[in-house]
Amino acid sequence: MGVPHGKADRSASVIIIGAGHAGLAMSRCLSERSIDHVLLERGEVGNSWRQERWDSLRLLTPNWLTRLPGFRYQGSDPDGFMSVAELVAFIDTYAGKIDAPVETGATVRSVIPTSAGYRIETARGSWSSKALVLASGAFGAPNLPAAAEAIPAGIRQFTAKDYRNPAQLPEGGVLVVGASATGLQLAEEIHRSGRPVTMAVGEHVRMPRLYRGLDIQYWLNGTGLLDETWRQVDDIVRARRVPSPQLVGTPERRSLDLNALTDQGVVIVGRFAGVAGRKVQFSGGLRNHCVMADLKQTRLLDTVDAYARDAGLTLGIGAVERFEATRVPSSPRLEMDLGSGEIASVVWATGFRPDYHWLKAPVFDRRGRLRHEGGVVAAPGLYALGHTFLRRRKSSFIHGAEDDARDLSSHLACYLAGTRMPLAEAV
């Protein structure tokens, strides 16, 4: 790629790409340090939340935990879960409160390293900066199995990014692939719409919404599990691959697991294994995936119970609970004929990866993943925010942005000042 020609239209010490919760948290931290910066946003503040989420989605974390640096939920329902509209309003209010310097409609076309930092071409002119923060979100591009291409043309396909509500789907059966929070939530509402759902289930993380009467996030927070850092876990690559827990945020604070879906008539099958001719094939390993999730849930609850005991928590919490093992059909289906008319659409709830196709720098590994140590990217003055387990287990949550942004802004300040930079793990 060539060296960009001419002087950039405008410059800032730091460019933050993306004005969602993570970019705004970083903006606030930089403002506290009086570091001049600009947020480049392709749409409006909180764009992904406005444009790329399904209608019924609510946050998986309760309102009392939904916070950004210097800002927290002030409403009357601390135990509730924000809808997308409420979250957009929350983020919007925050952007105004911190007076974030956001350039809207500035879709980034390319980012190129220069001798002095970075040059950013956008739909609204070019920028140069000394440092750059990638805060465009962890959900840029859906992860689809290669075999998705082999699904016959007559079957409509949707991802969690373009799915809005069941009415979008053709009448008839639906194959939902993926059994994390998204897969379970979509499977449930689609099935309730009268479209019979078959759900392909691979590795998943099972968790009750309430445990001993308190939200599971209360316990995850209290035990310190959410604060565990990328240096504390023994295999960060694996930790970053752990699927999101099976949770849903509803006013009645109910749990959503495979048993609940089975009771409603959803048929569960093994992991999506491939397509052979007209047939979709499912793994025969469903039972083990369920057994592992049940064992891990029990271990998590053991940890919670130990925490409650050691912390002397007795007041206001319920008795120790254990939940029914996941009921697995004795002979789960191994294949489905796509030509039989049994299903009319496939919904891929198979996760996302960040989309940095515009970043023209040698910072990706052989599988196209950003190379970084706790958000300090393998290029001078380049940082990332908002990835799953970037620096802490909570990194991808709204409330996880604060600590990461504080750490990385401190590293960034040293970089700009030309002082000796702390190691990524030290900040």
Partner 1 sequence: MNMPTKTTGSIDNGVNVEALLGAREALTEAPEAAQFRWKASSRWMRGTHTRSACQGFFGLGEAQSHRTEFTFDTDHPEVFASEDKGATPVEMVLVGLAGCLTAGIATVAQNREIQLKSVTAVIEGSMDLAGILGIDGDVRNGFEDVQVTFEVDADATREEIEALVAQSQKRSAVYDIVTNPTNITVQVK
**Residues contributing to the site for partner 1 (CB under 8 A):** 203, 234-235, 270-271, 273-274, 276, 281, 283-285, 288, 291-292, 295, 298-299, 331, 366
CB 398 → partner 1: shortest distance, Å?
A: 30
CB 272 → partner 1: shortest distance, Å?
A: 10
Question: In the complex with partner 1, which residue's Cβ is closer, 283 or 395?
Answer: 283
CB 326 → partner 1: shortest distance, Å?
A: 13
CB 403 → partner 1: shortest distance, Å?
A: 25
Question: In the complex with partner 1, which residue's Cβ is closer, 263 or 324?
Answer: 324
Question: In the complex with partner 1, which residue's Cβ is closer, 149 or 234?
Answer: 234
CB 295 → partner 1: shortest distance, Å?
A: 5
Tokens of 261: 């879906």
Of 152, 195, 199, 193, the closest CA to residue 171 belongs to 195
Distance CA 179, CA 217 (A): 20
Question: In the complex with partner 1, which residue's Cβ is closer, 60 or 300?
Answer: 300
Tokens of 332: 């789960």
Question: In the complex with partner 1, which residue's Cβ is closer, 237 or 319?
Answer: 237
- Map residue 150 onto helix, strand or coil: helix
| Secondary structure E strands in 115-217 | 117-122, 125-134, 141-142, 156-159, 173-177, 197-201, 205-206, 210-211, 214-215
CB 240 → partner 1: shortest distance, Å?
A: 14
CB 336 → partner 1: shortest distance, Å?
A: 13
- In this structure, are residues 262 and 191 in contact, taking their beta carbons and an 8 Å threshold? no
Distance CA 349, CA 190 (A): 13
- In this structure, are residues 25 and 69 in contact, taking their beta carbons and an 8 Å threshold? yes
Question: 50-53 contacts: CB < 8 A, separation 24 or more?
Answer: 50/84, 50/88, 52/139, 52/161, 52/162, 53/84
CB 201 → partner 1: shortest distance, Å?
A: 13
| Secondary structure E strands in 228-364 | 245-246, 267-270, 272-276, 279-282, 335-337, 343-348, 352-353
CB 302 → partner 1: shortest distance, Å?
A: 9
Question: In the complex with partner 1, which residue's Cβ is closer, 295 or 423?
Answer: 295
Question: In the complex with partner 1, which residue's Cβ is closer, 291 or 306?
Answer: 291
Of 359, 375, 379, 423, the closest CA to residue 131 belongs to 379
183: Cα within 13 Å, side-chain hemisphere: 32
CB 146 → partner 1: shortest distance, Å?
A: 12
294-318 burial: b if 16+ Cβ within 10 Å, else e? bebbeebbeebeeebeeeeeeeeee
- Sign, CA dihedral 208-210-213-214, equals positive
Question: In the complex with partner 1, which residue's Cβ is closer, 85 or 295?
Answer: 295
Question: In the complex with partner 1, which residue's Cβ is closer, 89 or 291?
Answer: 291
Distance CA 21, CA 116 (A): 28
Question: In the complex with partner 1, which residue's Cβ is closer, 69 or 243?
Answer: 243
